[in-house]
Structure 1
Amino acid sequence: MKKVLLGVLGAGLILLPTVAASSSFEEFQQQQRQGLQQFQQDFDAAFQAYQDAFNEAFAAYQEELRAHWQEPLLTDRHTWVEYSQDQSSRSIVDFQANQIRIEIDSEKSGGSADAAVELLVDVINRPVDEAVERDEVTQRAIEKAGLPSESLGTQGQKRVLNEVQPEHAEQMMNEAEVSQRQEPAPDGSQREVIVLTVPLPPSRTTDKAREYLPLIKRHAKHYDIEPALMLAIMHSESSFNPMARSHIPAFGLMQIVPGSAGRDVAQVVYGEDRVFSPSYLYNPDNNVRAGAVYLDILNSRYLRQIEHPESRLYAVIAAYNTGAGNVARTFTGGSTSPAQAARIINEMQPKDVYDQLRAQLPYEETRNYLDHVARRTLAYREFE
C-alpha cells in the first residue's frame, strides 16, 4: 500500500497509509466538531444555570425586602447597597451622586441618629471581601449555581471606600444632613425613617482613578491597550465602584459578563472555557485584567481589519458595550460580519465613523456610551 509523508517529528518520519489517513482524518474532524459542539452546549448550559440562579436570587431577595421597605433598593453598576441582618436599616453609596445615604427605621433606633452614624463608620471601613460575603444576591446565586467562592486575596482586603479615610468620618458628619420621612410599615401603618446623607469627597472620582491607575497600567502594557481608554471605560461602566453589579449579570469595575466576554477572556488567560464566579470578578486585579484582555480581543481579533486607529477605537468602545456584531450591523445594514463592516469603514473618515455609530447603533444606551467613553478617553490622556 502506498504511503504518504505527513511530517517530521524530531528526527523521525511519520508515515501513514493513504486511505487510512484520509478516513481517520475525516473521523477526527467529525469527532472534533461534535466535541466542540457539545462543549459549547455544556458551557452555555452552565452560564444559563448561573444566570437563572442570579435572577431567582435577585427576585427572592427583593421580595423579602418589600416586607421592610417601600422601595427595595439593590446594588447596581453605580450604587452599592447593604442591609442590616434584620433588614431594618440600609447603607446606600451612590457613586454618581457622590454621597452616602444611611436609612434606618426610627423605632429600631429609638428615634436617635446615633445608630445611623454607627452604620456610616461601618460602611466606610468595609473591606471588599467582606462586602462580597454580605451580598445576599451574590452568595445565594453562587450557592444555587454551585460556583466556587474564590478568595479575593490582598485586593479583597482593601476597603470598598478606600479613597475615604476612616479618621475623616467625624469631619464628614459635620457636612451631613439628617432628615426624616414617612413611609408605609409592613403592618399598613406609617413609620418614620431617619435618613443621614453624607457627601463623599469632591475629589473621589479622581482619587479612585489614581488608586487603580497602577493596576490598569500593568495590564494595559501587557495587552497593548491605552490606559486612558481603560480608565474611561471603568469610569463609565461602574463609576469606579468595585462592588458594581448589573442585571445581566456583569460584575466589578470593568463590568465583565461571566458568559460572553468572560469566555473569550478565559480562553486567553487560562487556555480553556470557564464561567467566572462573581468572587473572581470582584477581585479588582482579576477584573482589570479581564477588561484589558477583552479590549485586546476586540482590537486585535474581531475588529483588527479596521485600518485607521481612531476609527477602530470608536468601534472597540461601542463593541465593549454591545458586541462586535452590533457594531458591524451599523455599517452593513444587517450583516454581523466585522470583516464586511471593516471594508466599509476603511472608506470613511474617523469623524464619519463616529457620527454613524452615534446615529445608527441599535441601542440608545450604546450611542450614549460611545460619547461618554470617547470624551473621557481624551480627558484621561491628560490625567496620565
Structure 2
Amino acid sequence: MKFSAVALLCLLVVTGCCAPSSPPPQQGSTPSTTSGKTIEFLFSLLEAHAKKEWGDKDYVEAGKHRYVKYIDGYRTRAHIDFDQGEIYVSTVSRWSAKDKLRKAIVHTLLMPADPKDAELFSDKEAVISGQPFLLGQVVDHEGQPIRWEWRAGRYADYLIANKLQEKKLKNGNTAYYVKIDMVSDHLEQREYKYASLVQAAAKRYGLSEDLIYAVIKTESSFNPYAVSHAGAYGLMQVIPKTAGADVFKLVKNKPGIPTKEYLFDPANNIDTGAAYLYILKTRYLRDVKHPTSRHFSMISAYNGGTGGVLATFDKDRKRAMSKLNATSPRGVYNALTTKHPKDEARRYLQKVLYFQKEFTDNF
C-alpha cells in the first residue's frame, strides 16, 4: 500500500503503540430498531429452544467469529471457532447419540461454501451442495482434504471410535463430542477464497485491497456465516437498514434494503462493505482534508459511525470538523483510539490498522 497511513502506523507502533446534514447511520455497532428487533427475535428464539437441551451455562450461539449450527431438535450442534481454529461437534441426544454425532460431523465437514441457506437460527439442516466451505481447512486422519461424503463419513467413524469425549453439563445432561483441529493456515486459506472478490471491489471503489482484507479479518475472521446481535451479516458485517440501505440508495440506485440472503453471498457482501467505505470516504467524510486523517476517520466510522468520529472532537459537527482538520494525523489517530465515545470503536481502528499493515507486508 502506498499512502502514508501505514507509515504513520509503523511510527505509532515503534513509539508505543459508508453527507447529509445529520450524522449518517452507524455501521457495525448499533442497528436500527426494526433491524435489531428482527435479529434479536431470531437469536432469542434460538436461545429458548437450545437452552432447553443444553442449559444456560452450556448454550453457545453464532457470532462474528464463530459458526454455530443446531440440528436434531436442537440436541446436536456444530461449533467452529475461527479465531482458535477449533471445531466441536456435540450431541446431548439420549438415543442413538453416536449416529446423531456422526451425521453432524459429516454435515459440518461438508457445509456449503455459500451460507445463504445456512438456517443458523433454526434446527433445519443446511442443504449440502457444491464444494465444501471447509475444504482444505480440515484434513482427515490420513492427512487428506475432505471433499466427498464417503471420506467425511470415514473420518467421522474414526473420530467417534478414537476421539469421542463426554462431559456432564450443568443441567444434568451428558454431552458427547469430538474436537477437530483445523490446519495451521486455515485463516490464510479463507483469505485466498475471496481474493478475486476483494480485488474487484478495491478496483471498483478506488480502495486498497489491504484495507478491505483488514476490515474483513477484524469483522469476521473471514467467516461468511458471521452474524451479530447488531443485525449485521457476512464477511464485512453489513447491517441491512444502515450501511446496506445507504449503498442501495447512493451507489446502486436501487430501492429498499439488501436481504440477509443477499448479504450472506460473499460477492454481494464484499461489494456492499467496500461501497460503504467508499461512501464514507467520498461523501460523509469528504471534508476531512488530510488523506491519512480521512483514512483513520473512515475506518473508525465503519464501526462507530461518522457521528462518533466527529463527537470525538466536539459535540457540534461544524466545530468538530474544524478541530479534526486542525489536528495532525497522529493526533487524529490518538484521539480516535483514546477519546472516541465508544470503547469498541477505539479498539477497532487499532485492529484494522494493525491487520492492514500485516496484509501490506504479506502481499
Distance 1:352 1:51 in 2: 35
2:248 corresponds to which letter in structure 1? A
Point out where structure 2 has 5 or more consecutive residues left out of the alignment: 1-31, 138-144
Residue 314 in structure 1 maps to residue 300 in structure 2:
no
Distance 2:168 2:116 in 1: 29
Structure number with bigger Rg: 1
2:167 corresponds to which letter in structure 1? R
Partner of residue 207, structure 1: 189
Distance 1:183 1:382 in 2: 45
Aligned residue runs from structure 1 range 1-384, under 5 A: 48-70=33-55, 71-105=58-92, 107-110=94-97, 112=98, 115-129=100-114, 132-136=117-121, 157=130, 159-164=132-137, 165-166=145-146, 177-184=163-170, 190-332=172-314, 334-335=315-316, 337=317, 340-384=319-363
SS at match of 1:357: helix
1:126–1:161 CA contact under 8 A, matched in 2? yes
Partner of residue 7, structure 2: none
1:67 corresponds to which letter in structure 2? K
Answer 1 or 2: higher relative contact order, Cα 8 Å, separation at least 6: 2
> What CA RMSD, in Å, does the superposition of the two structures yield over aligned residues?
2.6
Distance 1:206 1:364, change over 3 A: same
Between Structure 1 and Structure 2, how many residues are aligned? 313
Partner of residue 4, structure 2: none
Distance 1:106 1:88 in 2: 6
SS at match of 2:313: helix
SS at match of 1:194: strand
1:74–1:81 CA contact under 8 A, matched in 2? yes
More helix per residue: 1 or 2? Answer: 1
2:73–2:123 CA contact under 8 A, matched in 1? no
More strand per residue: 1 or 2? Answer: 1
SS at match of 1:180: strand
Distance 1:104 1:49, change over 3 A: same
1:244–1:255 CA contact under 8 A, matched in 2? yes
CA drift of 1:157 comes to 4.8
Distance 1:324 1:131 in 2: 30
CA drift of 1:192 comes to 1.7
Point out where structure 1 has 5 or more consecutive residues left out of the alignment: 1-46, 140-155
User: Which shows bigger deviation, 278-287 or 339-348?
Assistant: 339-348
CA drift of 1:309 comes to 1.9
Distance 1:137 1:225, change over 3 A: farther
- After TM superposition, the runs of 4+ consecutive aligned structure 1 residues lying more than 6 A away are 170-174
Distance 1:128 1:209, change over 3 A: closer
CA drift of 1:352 comes to 1.5
2:214–2:352 CA contact under 8 A, matched in 1? yes
SS at match of 2:280: helix
1:262–1:290 CA contact under 8 A, matched in 2? yes
Distance 1:329 1:371, change over 3 A: same
SS at match of 1:66: helix
SS at match of 1:82: strand
Distance 1:162 1:274, change over 3 A: farther
State the TM-score, normalizing by the size of structure 2.
0.79
Distance 1:310 1:163, change over 3 A: farther
